[in-house]
Amino acid sequence: MDLENHHWYAFELKVFVLISLFFILVLINTLGIINWTIPCFFEHFLSFECFGCGTTKAIKLALVGELGASISENPLGLGVLALSLIHI
């Protein structure tokens, strides 16, 4: 394996690990084992929601089958969920 391909592989592996950990945390949160949310910097300090606000709730709604509510919460949630499932 040449050096350039090794760097891309290492980068993809790190991204995969981060997405997998996020997916596992959302799944654990959905099952009710833990119940917490990460406060949004933008919402907390600047008083407006960023594009990622509501993504975790949207994923939770999609996992229980409420796709319409998931899309209305944040359409990015379905994309993150699909990408996570494809990568796994």
Residue-by-residue pLDDT tens, the chain, 88 positions:
565 667 777 888 888 998 888 888 878 877 877 776 666 777 777 777 777 778 888 888 998 999 999 999 888 888 888 888 887 7
Beta strands in 13-64 (DSSP E): none
Two tokens, residue 34: 């833990």
Answer whether 76's CB lies under 8 Å from 52's CB: yes
pTM of the model: 0.52
